[in-house]
Structure 1
Amino acid sequence: MRGVKRISILLAAALLFGCCLLLLSPPTTAGPDATLYVYAVTPLRARALEQKIEESMPGVDVTVFGKLSDFKTALEANPPDAALSPRPVLTSLNRTADLQGMRAGTDAEQYLLVSTRPLSKEMLSSLRYGMVDLVERKSLPRFVAGLLGVNDAPEVQRVTKIEDLLQLLQFQTADAVLLPERFRSDFESKSKMTFTILSLSTAKVGLVGVTFLSERHSIENAIRKLPKHVLADLGVDEWK
């Protein structure tokens, strides 16, 4: 009997100890409350930008895509709660910006025409261009023609990263590239080449915006609270 009683006491003690551990243990964290897909023109690697955004948005599962085609495929296959991308990308998806990124009071940024050769407006239709993809392959030449203010769609080499534009000029794969003005200093500092730079009044591209694909309340507040350094990586300083 004493043996049985001792076993019962040990079992009771073990059970009590287990209950105490459960009470002291922190509650398990539920899965993400919301999902956000991002495609942005930035010098940062997709994973680096993803980590910066996700760290600033607790409870939101963030995926940053390095290729526009992957971004569009994921949107169709597994739609998120919200998607963030340059306005031309949203337009190509037949989506509008529910939140529009702004910088210095404007919703568009200047793109510069950069080349290693002399440039003039008269020669724009005959050049080969490089540009980070914003509307996918078939539509990009016509999109570039609009930025150049010309009627004929030129030959365009699309790339996935800003640094790839420099390689196009180095290897003469393109005669000129279209570069967001905010990257000019960094672009020039990474090369010993001498550049001719032309700023066209027609070369304006809509900044990043956010489109909500489900209930926006769960994620809008988190997006609006993104810190300034993350907004700067996205090319904006506030939301409208």
Structure 2
Amino acid sequence: MLYPIHVRGSLPKGLSEELDRGLVSKIYTVALGAQGSCFIIYLGRDGLDHFYSYGLPRRLQDWLSARSPRGRWVGNLRGLRLCLGPDNASYWAADGADSISENLPSGLQVYLSLLPNNGVKLVDCISLGCNGTYYLRTSNGRHRRNIAGSAKLSDYLDSVQSSAGNLTNVAGLALHPVYKDTWILQSANGFSFSNGLDAQAREAFDNIQPAVEAKLQRTSLKAALERMEIEQMIAEHRAKMEANEREH
């Protein structure tokens, strides 16, 4: 999602310095990895797109450098998607023309290989979590996931999945690469769910949510009612699953 709204804390030094320069107008993409590694794409106050990276895996950094001679990106910088997995041992990136990946979970790797050109144009969200968990969503709502150990998240995705198996109302999902059952989900309608965040992240998440909803011209009452509806859908789905288990 592209919002000019953000909060931050405990960021790598280089990324903090980049933001503190006062040149950022809108942030498009941020990826945070192990040992201070990071990547950001943003619209500068000069009207140009910029990027900054630090500490990325060598092969990934070489791939990025080949697309940015003399420090300027060749092609559609805003179309670049990048995800770092646990300890940066796994990653995936694509810019609409080419992609690069390493050590992806086998199920995810197989699915990508079945997409045209490894999904460089179709995939709009990939998240790599701990213990081989992952989530992938394409621009047409198709998805693949392994989110073992995240019952609430699984129930939610099951409850909003269409009969055709699509998830068109899920805009993004971030799985924590270290902590189990820790995630943030952003819906296409502006409201979000999260689980397992520490107190600081939880406070930041709660503080930014009204601004995100307002950006999409949603009222707090409407958002609250929609959250209640989703929670009810999850509860009904869970009750149905438990009833089926008792029958068998």
**TM norm structure 1:** 0.28
With a CA cutoff of 8 Å and minimum separation of 6, indicate the structure with the bigger relative contact order: 1
